Amino acid sequence: MTMALSDEQIAVLQDVQEMLQVRMRELPRRYQHSLGVARTAVELARAYGVDEYHAALAGLVHDWDKVLDDHELLARAAQYGVRVSGSPTLAVGLLHGPVAAHELPHIFEGISATVCQAVARHTVGARDMTPLDMVVFTADAIEPGRRGDYAERLRAMVGREPLEELFFQTFAQGLVYVISGGRYLYPTAIDIYNAYAARRARR
């Protein structure tokens, strides 16, 4: 990654990437996805004036706990007191973000709370997303490995539309994907969507 970062920050990112590669050695596609999200998060951060280092770091570790099976994710969520709306079993695919957010500070010394929050929120979003949260959430949806018209449409919006509008459209596309596939819709999703739709209408 070519960024205006300090030598220390570059070294941290290299160390994290090496640890991630080892952690995901049996999931090479997930590893490549994580690299793609990190690179895309940096591009979005540049476009919207967000801290590039935090964007790169959050992108690298956003799927840190994707290596865990469902049983382990549920057990760790209970251990850390992760709040789950609706059915924990049906929502297990969304737990890797908030579970990792609890674990990352114990793995990477000095990782910021803002990065951990972005990791926690990249699966279900929130009503009060920060710019970094929105960057990571969106990068997860439009990194180069994502295929489809929706991804191209969202990529075309980068730098042309405000970050909040880009996030809103990304979030809305996620709802379309979930509903059209008959998948479980996380209970907070409609509330989050309506909050941003209302703000959008007021602008």
Predicted local distance difference test score (pLDDT) of residue 203: 83
> Is residue 48 predicted with pLDDT exceeding 80?
yes
- Domains of the chain: which residue ranges? 7-202
Looking up tokens 């059209």 gives 180
Q: Can you tell me the mean pLDDT for 180-185?
A: 96
Alpha helices in the chain (DSSP H): 7-23, 28-48, 52-61, 70-80, 96-107, 113-121, 131-142, 149-157, 163-180, 189-202
Predicted local distance difference test score (pLDDT) of residue 82: 96
**Percentage, residues of the chain above pLDDT 70:** 99
Round to whole Å and give the CA distance between 133 and 191.
17
- CA distances 116 to 10, 55, 132, 152, Å, are 19, 11, 10, 28
10 Å CB burial of residue 59 (0-12, 13-18, 19+) is: buried
- Per-residue pLDDT of 120-134, as tens digits, reads 999 999 999 999 999
**Percentage, residues of the chain above pLDDT 90:** 96
Query: What number does CATH give the domain 7-202?
Result: 1.10.3210.10
> Is residue 3 predicted with pLDDT exceeding 70?
no
- Per-residue pLDDT of 73-107, as tens digits, reads 999 999 999 999 999 999 999 999 999 999 999 99
Predicted local distance difference test score (pLDDT) of residue 86: 92
Predicted local distance difference test score (pLDDT) of residue 5: 85
- Per-residue pLDDT of 21-34, as tens digits, reads 999 999 999 999 99
Mean pLDDT (the chain, rounded) = 96
Predicted local distance difference test score (pLDDT) of residue 1: 43
- Which stretch of 84-88, 137-141, 151-155, 161-165 has the lowest confidence by average pLDDT? 84-88
